[in-house]
A and B are shown apart, each in its own frame.
Chain A
């Protein structure tokens, strides 16, 4: 199955060369390639055999697959499924049960060391019963697949950093791919879900250049996760002008002002939502009037609240915002200082009124230091003496 090239596959399915070149141009533009780079894409997709891909689902909601299937440009989704040789995907494949398992085992045997493993979902390390496939626990299925993979693509926030099931208190003790496996190149395609075109771009890059794209130190491809939503947002001028939506139904919301005050996490989030956008490039959350929730950042669920930038502080019984605690502590400090001032006037009355009989300095204190200094001095002196004595002996 892995022998045909992507181009051959497309031609067989009845696409035109024009469609193919359009797709290549689109991908090249998205990856930020020069025009010469696009010919590289064309060349690679015409000559290189399709990459065998095994697509695993663990603890997740399948929204990454959904996103992938709804890729923006009409062809992308369909084309992508042609572009890779998707040998195993338990939610998409026609086969089920033992048949599906047989396909997976066969593909793993045939392409051992050459296939790309796509992981959707995090892997629970608690009870093995939290996530099982064909009666086996997620961890062993994952490790078996990972051992034979050339590279692992962690699709979405679940596989990249655990998403909501990893949020405190993490009842299933679930962990993302990079926390439980190392030794293979791992690429984190972040987002909940990631943008379909980003997913397509990553696969195109790997196919074209035969290596992983440049990653940041969170494992995310820099091309797509190099800039913040905030810095590419069309509402940024409202932010700089200090024009904020104060509640979701006010006049400012209608005017399309900045959602920062409403807790928009665009300033915290590296993603290309504001550039590529979603659903055929129709819109993205902020354009639709809701703040970004930061779904392409690790542990974003744990940084509550969603609708404010002032952090909650956990672990003191009730949840309180940092500023309430800060203001409380400030009040306590002011009160404490006041009380201290009052007590000072009582306790130190004699000192203040100059009526202390005994203001003498405790000379013992200084004696202690003096003694230790003398001891140190003696030690050095005796060392010098010793050396000089030895010298004399040698001379003799």
Chain B
């Protein structure tokens, strides 16, 4: 039997809302890409029935719209979870504002993209580079949402319709908005290729249960790293408490 001698600890990384978001998003983006492509460049599926007896293109569009609404609601929940979730789900993971994150990005490029060293980079949640690309993906998702709804404004009279009609014209009408919406679809396809491959890659070389973690939420992490992370968490908490103390003292003095 081949086995590895390493002290590992189980860490609950992805909370339930994050996991639900991930899978709903994956499913819905797949539907949106396929139906969207058909809408953009309809295949020659012809039939002998009269126009009024058939509605397949209409159904494709309906599927696209339903998927789009699920996509948006799902995205909104995730945005809420940027602030309410655990430290691996919080918004600051995705925007490299700290030196540590930039260090992580360069490390990851060196080790996992350019493969310059066999020694892995250790992270508990997202690695810094992945998190940064998710930030880009979130931006693209937002753009798709806005361009999509701007085009949907002519098919609806819901309460947001005036805003999205305004937005459509502000962006230059259907011509540019359609093009942006169409071209950015490819970003999701490229992202999916890289994303799925990298899950395989990390699972294969690091064996930290990354692939199953998005189902169950748990990862296996080197014990030392977990210990250090816990220590840092405590330190951060202490700093926060002290900051609060400082604030209350300052307030008292003012009174």
Chain A interface (Cβ < 8 Å from any Cβ of B): 216-218, 227-228, 231, 237-244, 246, 252, 257, 260-261, 265, 267-270, 294, 297-300, 302-303, 309-311, 313, 322-323, 325-326, 329-330, 333-334, 337, 340-341, 343-344, 347-352, 354, 356, 358-359, 361, 363, 366, 368-370, 373-374, 376-377, 380-381, 383-384, 387-388, 391
Judge whether B109 is part of the interface by a CB distance below 8 angstroms: no
Rounded to whole Å, the gap between the CB of B147 and the closest CB of chain A is 13
Identify whether the interface residues of A are mostly helix, strand, loop, or mixed.
helix
CB within 8 Å for A377 and B238 given contacts A268-B178, A333-B194: yes
Judge whether B16 is part of the interface by a CB distance below 8 angstroms: no
What CA separation (Å) do A374 and B40 show in the bound complex? 57
- Collect the chain B residues with CB atoms within 8 Å of residue A216's CB: 165, 169
Judge whether B204 is part of the interface by a CB distance below 8 angstroms: yes
Q: Are B189 and A326 in contact (CB under 8 A)?
A: yes
Rounded to whole Å, the gap between the CB of A315 and the closest CB of chain B is 13
- Top-3 shortest CB links A-B: A242-B57, A268-B174, A326-B186
- Collect the chain A residues with CB atoms within 8 Å of residue B185's CB: 326
What CA separation (Å) do A227 and B115 show in the bound complex? 56
Question: Which positions 1-51 of chain B face chain A at CB distance < 8 Å?
Answer: 2, 4, 6, 40-42, 44-47, 49-51
Rounded to whole Å, the gap between the CB of A304 and the closest CB of chain B is 10
Q: Identify which of B57, B61, B193 contacts A330 (C-beta below 8 A).
A: B193
Q: Are A330 and B189 in contact (CB under 8 A)?
A: yes
CB within 8 Å for A303 and B175 given contacts A218-B169, A242-B45, A329-B190: yes
What CA separation (Å) do A368 and B119 show in the bound complex? 20
Q: Are B174 and A246 in contact (CB under 8 A)?
A: no
Q: Are B250 and A387 in contact (CB under 8 A)?
A: yes
Q: Are B115 and A330 in contact (CB under 8 A)?
A: no
Rounded to whole Å, the gap between the CB of A330 and the closest CB of chain B is 6
Q: Identify which of A267, A323, A359, A381 contacts B6 (C-beta below 8 A).
A: A359
Q: Are A348 and B249 in contact (CB under 8 A)?
A: no
Rounded to whole Å, the gap between the CB of B50 and the closest CB of chain A is 8
Chain B interface (Cβ < 8 Å from any Cβ of A): 2, 4, 6, 40-42, 44-47, 49-58, 60-61, 100, 113, 115-116, 118-120, 122, 154, 165-166, 169-170, 172-176, 178-179, 182-183, 185-186, 189-190, 193-194, 197, 201, 204-205, 222, 224-225, 228, 231-232, 235-236, 238-239, 242-243, 245-246, 249-250, 253
What number of A-B contacts does a CB cutoff of 8 Å give? 185
Q: Identify which of B54, B55, B115, B239 contacts A380 (C-beta below 8 A).
A: B239
Q: Are A350 and B42 in contact (CB under 8 A)?
A: no
Residue of B nearest to A325 (CB): B186
What CA separation (Å) do A270 and B165 show in the bound complex? 12
What CA separation (Å) do A134 and B197 show in the bound complex? 69
Q: Are B44 and A244 in contact (CB under 8 A)?
A: yes
Q: Are B242 and A377 in contact (CB under 8 A)?
A: yes
Residue of A nearest to B104 (CB): A365
Q: Are B172 and A358 in contact (CB under 8 A)?
A: no
Q: Are A366 and B186 in contact (CB under 8 A)?
A: no
Known contacts A228-B154, A322-B179, A347-B116; 10 additional CB pairs below 8 A are: A242-B45, A242-B54, A242-B60, A268-B178, A299-B175, A322-B186, A361-B222, A366-B228, A377-B238, A384-B249
